[in-house]
Structure 1
Amino acid sequence: MVNRYWCGECSFKTPWRGGAEGLRRQIEHYAEKHPGTPPGGQIETRRRHPGRGHGCLLLAAVALVLLTVVAACRP
């Protein structure tokens, strides 16, 4: 799961990051652009990672190839 942090004071948002990286960037943004203001805003969560989610399609393709090999080997 990855998050993107939105500033509550302006239109800044962090890139999608996992772990504490996004939060660290938000804190740095507040320190630089809004000194004295505690970090706030929204946290947007993306449950799917880019490039993932094609597992079923890959599994179906492998099954089709195996089925074709088995069918070709039968007398």
Structure 2
Amino acid sequence: MAYRYRCGECGFKTSWGTESQGERAQIAHYADRHPDLYPGGTVETNGKDPSGGIGCLGVLAVLFLLFVLAVSCSR
């Protein structure tokens, strides 16, 4: 899942990335632009994996196909 943080004080928003990357960018923004305020705002998620991996479902599908192939070849 990818995250994007939005500033609660101005229109700043981080780029899409991991949760920790967004949090660090938001903290740096607040330290630079709003030094007297505690970091706030909102967090958006887009449901996509920033690493681009196929995830568990893809791995299970490949394992299932290998199992079907192995069963069909053993007959």
TM-score, length-normalised on structure 2?
A: 0.63
User: Aligned equivalents of 1:3 and 1:40: distance in 2?
Assistant: 15
**Does 2:9 correspond to 1:20?**
no
How many residues are aligned here?
56
User: Aligned equivalents of 2:35 and 2:19: distance in 1?
Assistant: 24
**Does 2:33 correspond to 1:33?**
yes
Return the offset for 1:19.
3.4
Return the offset for 1:41.
0.4
Note the residue ranges of structure 2 that are not aligned, 5 or more in a row.
55-75
Matched residue SS, 1:35: coil
User: Aligned equivalents of 2:20 and 2:30: distance in 1?
Assistant: 16
Aligned-partner residue type, residue 33 of structure 2: K
TM-score, length-normalised on structure 1?
A: 0.63
* Residue in 2 that maps onto 1:47: 47
Note the residue ranges of structure 1 that are not aligned, 5 or more in a row.
54-75
Flag the structure with larger Rg. 1
